[in-house]
Amino acid sequence: MKISSLTPVDFRPTLRAARVNPPESRAVQEPADQITLSALPASGDLRRAGAGAGAQAAAASAGLAGLAMEQPLRMLLIGPPGSGKGTQAEIVDQFFEVPHISTGQILRNEIQQQTELGKAAEEYVKAGKMVPDSIMLPMVDNRLEKEDSFILDGFPRSIAQAQHLDATLSRLNKPLTCVETLEVSDETVVKRLKERGREDDTEEVIRARLKIYHEQTEPVMAHYQEQGLLDHIPAEGKVPEVGFYLVTCLNKRV
């Protein structure tokens, strides 16, 4: 279903159900009997239809928007490569109208424009390796200084990056609202990314990115679990299903 064919009323059962019966971390209930998952459109449809106003109206009708607008949403989106971070950030952006900061996308833009930063990062991104912190940390700090609310996608990817982020947000007095982690198997990741076919989506590079994820990024979850900020989002399903769980969890956090 496309957003252009939806009225705010179409969203209400979905969002009401989300408020009344929110999924708990890991023990998420299958919501298919209570709501119409197709009421959440695919993110590409949202973008093509310029759906910000419609989604905001829907959120307002469910009592979501007032909360979202009074409190800045500052969320981290963490997950393996191809888990759908960029895809889901687009859905969250449509509901909460929060700037989306993707470290992967910033790096790809810099590489495409062949800036000094892009030239320095290029070999790492093409090989699926972590770009050095000497490049990443000032780049992220610079963006966070400019944004009051944000979806930070792809950062932090290591404990060192998480500790740096804590210090930056504390200095800026911008505490996090939540950390959402997208959970998906390695085999699903490989299948999705081979189909996408970006330059860094060869099987060899995908496996290298997954190895780094398991070794360096997964320990970051415990860091945020201890702070009570972590939500686990099952991300094997279709884009709107994943989006439903994610928006529902955010609804509990704002």
Subset of residues 129 to 168 that bind ligand B4P, contact rule: CB under 6 A: 129-131, 136, 154-155, 157, 161
Q: Which residue in the set 13, 52, 72, 86 belongs to the binding site for ligand B4P (CB under 6 A)?
A: 86
Asked if residue 68 binds ligand B4P (CB under 6 A), the reply is no
CA distances from 251 to 22, 119, 198 (A): 8, 40, 33
Nearer to ligand B4P, 98 or 107 (CB): 107
Q: Which residue in the set 13, 28, 52, 124 belongs to the binding site for ligand B4P (CB under 6 A)?
A: 124
Torsion of CA 80, 86, 91, 95, to 10 degrees: 100
Asked if residue 181 binds ligand B4P (CB under 6 A), the reply is no
- The nearest distance, CB 128 to ligand B4P, in angstroms, is 5
| Start-end of H helices in the chain | 8-20, 43-49, 52-61, 65-70, 85-96, 103-112, 116-127, 133-146, 159-171, 186-196, 203-212, 219-226, 239-253
Nearer to ligand B4P, 230 or 235 (CB): 235
Provide the token pair at 86. 């960029």
Provide the token pair at 153. 């996608």
Q: Which residue in the set 23, 31, 54, 79 belongs to the binding site for ligand B4P (CB under 6 A)?
A: 79
Nearer to ligand B4P, 14 or 103 (CB): 103
User: CA gyration radius for the chain?
Assistant: 18
| Contact between 43 and 91 (Cβ < 8 Å) | yes
Asked if residue 118 binds ligand B4P (CB under 6 A), the reply is no
Site residues (vs ligand B4P, CB under 6 A): 79, 81-87, 102-104, 107, 124-125, 128-131, 136, 154-155, 157, 161, 192, 196, 200, 209, 238-239, 242
